[in-house]
């Protein structure tokens, strides 16, 4: 028998359907609530509110579970490639070897961007943050592919936009870095793999054809997989709500990049390293900073700690911490900031404040240490997060469009002035 919930309000009782997902999560469907009672719900930050039903990613915050289309992140991080995971997230199934080869070939053929992008890039000052540059350059793709603006294009044309997005983001990301360094841009080399091509565009110079270290390419592949999707997080919700107005995929992804930039979201990986550097420069006194994080009168927070969903541990952080040790060892890199991170983690995990509030290291706590070791500068860390998250954003946008979901338009409770008459300025 279908489960129901009863809501008693102003002497009325309304029955609401309860829906259950494939992992036994349950929700009260309030679609009819306002029409039948005139009442809405209020949930700032949507901490208790589901925005959709999705078959893409499953998280269990208590058990530290993360699965893409049913496959455990631990297996995908060890066994898969980023483009294979991108195919899985976007099209719903692991590709056959023929499908994957065709997908990789299509992407390799679309890595170049229109030459006019360089004129747009030249308009940015060298101190422009790469996330701001990247968001703008992705939005500019609508100018070069105006057909992408029509939301009702054929499946083939929408898929063409999906392929171009995945193919061109590494080029735009590397070029946003070159702008920062005031170095000439490096064009993609379609004979290289996805990660290798990006690394080469980042670090090559007209006078230096950078040899990509396979350890670095492998570490990047794993990091991109670990960042690929995370259900209805802030930036994915942004991509969905922008796409729900039938804006193009490029415009929706550009908005997602802007949302990811914030230090409470993807910008945390940059903020973590800045925090660890501050602790190192302050003599490495982690106890002092743990105390600051616990002090409600102090706005300082341990960046890279805490999560809206994970209240036990973030499975990605576990994998990345192990990878950090491996990569630094293979590259022979000594980073005192890694030692501070481990010490900080130990102190915090043994502190009641963090245990009671369920605050554990999240995906951003260790990722920056690997990015540093492979030569990525700090203000490019969130760009790396965006590179990884792109397939997830695309999958969420595609699912929302295929399900014909309505434009996102929440209600509110008004708390402003009640009606009053206009007073001419001479009488105020
Ligand atoms: C990502 O949603 C996703 O899936 C995101 C993400 C993804 O893959 O897309 O996983 C990626 O964004 C990871 C999170 C990166 N952000 C940070 O590391 C920034 C530091 N962490 C936070 O600011 C915070 O933990 C959030 C933003 C991540 C979560 O915030 P919530 O769920 O809104 O929780 P909250 O701010 O209401 O905090 C609850 C309590 C508060 O104390 P009280 O007011 O109840 O006394 O915990 C405290 C907070 O003060 N708290 C922290 C803390 N995080 C929360 N105290 C110290 N240090 C922290 N980091």
Residue with CA nearest ligand 1 atom 2 = 233
Express each pLDDT in 77-88 by its tens digit.
999 999 999 999
In terms of domains, do 206 and 265 share one? yes
Give per-residue pLDDT as tens, 324-379: 999 999 999 999 999 999 999 999 899 999 999 999 999 999 999 999 999 999 99
Provide the 3-class DSSP secondary structure of residue 29: coil
Pocket of ligand 1 contains residue 308 by CB under 6 Å: yes
Considering the domain architecture, whether residues 165 and 252 belong to the same structural domain is answered as: yes
* Residue 123 is assigned to a structural domain of this protein: yes
CA distances from residue 141 to 109, 117, 126, 136, 365 in whole angstroms, order as listed: 16, 9, 21, 9, 32
Statement: residue 1 has pLDDT above 90: no
| Cα 347 from Cα 294, distance rounded (Å) | 12
Q: Is the CB of residue 268 below 6 angstroms from any atom belonging to ligand 1?
A: yes
Asked if residue 336 belongs to a domain, the reply is yes
The number of folded domains in the chain is 2
CA distance 247 to 36: 32
Minimum CA distance residue for ligand 1 atom 18: 304
Q: For a pocket test of ligand 1, which of 264, 286, 306 has the largest count of ligand atoms closer than 8 A to its C-beta?
A: 306
Q: Is residue 424 part of a domain?
A: no
Residues 95 and 44 reside in one and the same domain: no
Beta strands in 346-408 (DSSP E): none
Tell me, yes or no, whether 160 and 32 share the same domain: no
Q: How far apart are CA 355 and CA 216, in angstroms?
A: 35
- 150 has a pLDDT exceeding 90: no
**Distance (Å, rounded) from C-alpha 155 to C-alpha 160?**
9
Q: Is 392 in the pocket of ligand 1 (CB under 6 A)?
A: no
The band of 409, judged by pLDDT with boundaries at 50, 70 and 90, is very high
Atom of ligand 1 nearest to the CA of 266: 12
Residues with a known catalytic role: 307, 364
103, 258, 338, 303: CA torsion to nearest 10: -140
**Is residue 296 included in any domain, yes or no?**
yes
Over residues 62-73, mean pLDDT? 97
- 277-334 per-position pLDDT tens digit: 999 999 999 999 999 999 999 999 999 999 999 998 899 999 999 999 999 999 999 9
Q: Examine residue 57 and state whether it is found in any structural domain, yes or no.
A: no
Same domain, yes or no, for 270 and 149? yes
* 8 Å CB contact between 193 and 280: no
- For residue 226, give the nearest of 74, 65, 53 by alpha carbon: 74
Q: Could you tell me if 263 and 385 are in contact, meaning their C-beta atoms sit under 8 angstroms apart? A: no
Query: What are the phi and psi torsion angles at 4 (to 5°)?
Result: -130, 155
Q: What local confidence, expressed as pLDDT, does residue 138 receive?
A: 98
- Return the bridge partners of 12, or none: 9
Q: Is residue 383 in a domain?
A: yes
With a 6 A CB cut-off, is 280 part of the ligand 1 pocket? no
Residue located nearest, by CA, to atom 37 of ligand 1: 308
Backbone angles phi, psi at 314, to 5 degrees: -90, 110
> Is the pLDDT confidence value at 145 over 90?
yes
Task: Give Cβ neighbours of residue 343 (< 8 Å, ≥ 6 apart).
Answer: 284, 286
Is 418 within a domain?
A: no
Residues 239 and 283 in one domain: yes
Sorting pLDDT into bands at 50, 70 and 90, what band is 181? very high
One domain for residues 129 and 163? yes
Write the residue with the smallest CA distance to atom 27 of ligand 1: 264
Does the C-beta of 301 come closer than 6 Å to ligand 1? yes
- DSSP-derived 3-state class of residue 207: coil
Domain shared by 175 and 324, yes or no:
yes
CA-closest residue to ligand 1 atom 26: 307
Q: Which residue range is the domain that position 13 belongs to?
A: 4-50
Is residue 417 in a domain? no
Strands across the sheet with 65-68, in order?
57-60, 65-68, 71-72
Query: Mutate which of 227, 229, 307 to test ligand 1's pocket (most atoms within 8 Å of Cβ)?
Result: 307
The answer to whether residues 16 and 140 belong to one domain is no
Here the tokens at position 171 are 């080029």
Rounded CA separation 309/313 (Å) = 10
Residue of 307, 302, 314, 298 lying closest to 276 (CA atoms): 302
Q: Provide the whole-model pTM.
A: 0.96
Determine how β-strand 65-68 pairs with β-strand 57-60: antiparallel
C-alpha to C-alpha distance for 320 and 345, rounded to whole angstroms = 14
pLDDT confidence of residue 364: 94
Pick the residue whose CA is nearest to atom 55 on ligand 1.
306
- Give exposure, 172-202, as e/b (b: 16+ Cβ within 10 Å): bbbbbbbbbeeeebbebeeebbbbbbbbbbb
Contacts of 18 (CB under 8 A, 6+ apart): 2, 3, 4, 5, 26, 27, 28, 29
Q: Is 229 in the pocket of ligand 1 (CB under 6 A)?
A: no
Which CATH number does the domain housing residue 16 bear?
A: 2.20.28
Cβ of residue 305 lying under 6 Å from some atom of ligand 1: yes
Residue 64, phi-psi category: left (phi > 0), alpha (psi -120 to 50), beta (remainder) = left
305 CA: nearest ligand 1 atom: 60
Q: Can you give the C-alpha Rg of the chain in angstroms? A: 23
Distance CA 244, CA 404 (A): 9
Query: Is the pLDDT at 152 greater than 90, yes or no?
Result: no
What's the pLDDT score for residue 26?
97
Q: Is 306 in the pocket of ligand 1 (CB under 6 A)?
A: yes
CATH number at residue 182: 1.10.580.10
Q: Please check whether residues 26 and 101 belong to one and the same domain.
A: no
CA of 367 relative to ligand 1 center, distance in Å = 17
* Token pair for 391: 């397939």
297 CA distance to ligand 1 centroid (A)? Answer: 17
Token pair 């295929």: residue: 402
- 352 and 385 housed in the same domain: yes
Residues 46 and 103 reside in one and the same domain: no
Q: What angle do CA 330, 210, 174 make, to 5 degrees?
A: 95
- Of all protein residues, the one whose alpha carbon is nearest to atom 35 of ligand 1 is 308
Token duo for residue 383: 């760009």
């Amino acid at each position: 028998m279908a489960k129901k919930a009863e809501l008693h309000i102003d002497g009325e009782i309304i029955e609401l359907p309860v829906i259950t997902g494939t992992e036994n999560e349950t929700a009260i469907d309030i679609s009819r609530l306002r029409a039948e009672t005139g009442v809405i719900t209020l949930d700032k930050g949507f901490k208790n509110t589901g925005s959709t039903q999705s078959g893409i990613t499953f998280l269990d915050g208590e058990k530290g579970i993360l699965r893409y289309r049913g496959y455990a992140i631990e297996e995908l991080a060890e066994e898969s490639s980023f483009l294979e995971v991108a195919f899985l997230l976007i099209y719903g199934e692991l590709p056959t070897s023929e499908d994957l080869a065709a997908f990789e070939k299509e992407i390799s053929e679309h890595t170049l961007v229109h030459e006019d992008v360089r004129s747009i890039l030249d308009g940015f000052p060298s101190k422009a943050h790469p996330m701001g540059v990247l968001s703008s350059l992705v939005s500019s793709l609508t100018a070069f592919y105006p057909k992408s603006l029509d939301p009702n294009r054929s499946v083939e044309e929408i898929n063409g936009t999906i392929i171009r997005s995945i193919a061109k983001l590494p080029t735009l990301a590397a070029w946003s870095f070159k702008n920062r360094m005031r170095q000439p841009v490096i064009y993609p080399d379609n004979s290289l793999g996805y990660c290798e091509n990006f690394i080469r565009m980042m670090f090559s110079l007209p006078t230096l054809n950078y040899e990509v270290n396979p350890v670095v390419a492998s570490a990047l592949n794993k990091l991109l997989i670990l960042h690929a999707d995370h259900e209805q997080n802030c930036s994915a919700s942004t991509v969905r709500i922008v796409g729900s107005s039938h804006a193009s995929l490029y415009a929706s992804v550009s908005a997602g990049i802007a949302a990811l930039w914030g230090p409470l979201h993807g910008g945390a990986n940059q903020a973590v390293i800045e925090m660890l550097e501050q602790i190192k420069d302050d003599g490495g006194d982690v106890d002092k900073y743990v105390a600051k994080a616990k002090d409600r009168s102090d706005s300082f927070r341990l960046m890279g700690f805490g999560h809206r969903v994970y209240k036990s541990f973030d499975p990605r952080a576990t994998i990345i911490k192990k990878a950090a040790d491996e990569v630094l060892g293979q590259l022979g890199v000594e980073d005192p900031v890694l030692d501070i991170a481990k010490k900080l983690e130990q102190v915090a995990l043994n502190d009641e404040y963090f245990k009671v509030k369920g605050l554990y290291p999240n995906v951003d706590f260790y990722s920056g240490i690997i990015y540093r070791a492979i030569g990525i500068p700090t203000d490019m860390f969130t760009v790396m997060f965006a590179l990884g998250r792109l397939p997830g954003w695309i999958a969420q946008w595609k699912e929302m469009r295929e399900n014909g979901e309505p434009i996102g338009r929440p209600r509110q409770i008004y708390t402003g002035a009640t009606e009053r008459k206009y007073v001419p300025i001479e009488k105020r």
